[in-house]
Amino acid sequence: MELRVRALETVLTQKGYIDPEALDVLIDTYQTRIGPRNGARVVARAWTDRTYREWLRRDATAAIASLGYSGRQGEHMVVVENTPTQHNLVVCTLCSCYPWPVLGLPPTWYKSAPYRSRAVREPRGVLAEFGVRLAADTEVRVWDSTAEVRYLVLPMRPPGTEGLDEDALAALVTRDSMIGTGLPLAPPARAR
């Protein structure tokens, strides 16, 4: 795969369609500057600010952009909220559509054929492999990303986090908890 990508990049460069330096800047930006910490800030804000949470429900793109996170692959954001009765899981069955401005670049497994097909066919099996066990009466809802719409899961705020501020809350929000293949971390013992 790496060889094929390099060959493609060489051809496109020779034809003058891409500038390798611009490509490097883009990749570096999403790999080192933009990543799941952005999404974690969104979630932590939603956990502490009811007005912001309602804004997210109404117009996630604008609410997320208000924190400074916007741009390509995040033009049309939808936030799906986990509740005791519904767990949300995000996939792109067709390719690897992913909300770059809030989560950075997608993990390899997200782009893999088995995840893309099994997330739809047997979401509970996939969740179990990620170590996520849900109550039997929790419904699993699978959201298929497209070039138009990108989803961000708003996980449930973990119990025992009442005294934590936004920074401490954001530290509990994992990338996978915003894709739906994970849950937020438990708070450190002294905070409980």
Q: Which residues bind Co ion (CB under 5 A)?
A: 92, 94-95, 97
Catalytic, 145? Answer no
Q: In the bound complex, what is the minimum distance in angstroms from residue 73's beta carbon to Co ion?
A: 10
Alpha-carbon gap, residue 62 to 83, rounded angstroms: 23
Q: Does residue 177 carry a catalytic annotation? A: no
Q: How far apart are CA 7 and CA 9, in angstroms?
A: 5
Structure tokens at 64: 């997320």
Min CB(62)–Co ion separation in Å: 23
* Complex with Co ion: residue 23 or 94, whichever CB lies closer: 94
Active-site option among 70, 92, 117, 145: 92
Q: Which helix (H) or strand (E) holds 37?
A: helix 36-48
Catalytic annotation present for 70: no
CB 91 within 8 A of CB 145: yes
- What is the spatial distance between Cα 139 and Cα 30, in angstroms, rounded to a whole number? 33
Catalytic annotation, pick one of 66, 70, 97, 117: 97
Nearest to Co ion of 92, 169 (CB atom)? 92
92 is catalytic: yes
Yes or no: say if 87 and 140 are a contact pair by the CB < 8 Å rule: yes
CB of 46 to Co ion, least distance (A): 25
Shortest reach from residue 146's CB to Co ion, in Å: 6
Residue 25 or 95: the one with the smaller Cβ distance to Co ion is: 95
Closer to Co ion by CB, 92 or 154: give it: 92
- Alpha-carbon dihedral sign for residues 105, 107, 111, 116: negative
Catalytic residue set:
92, 95-97
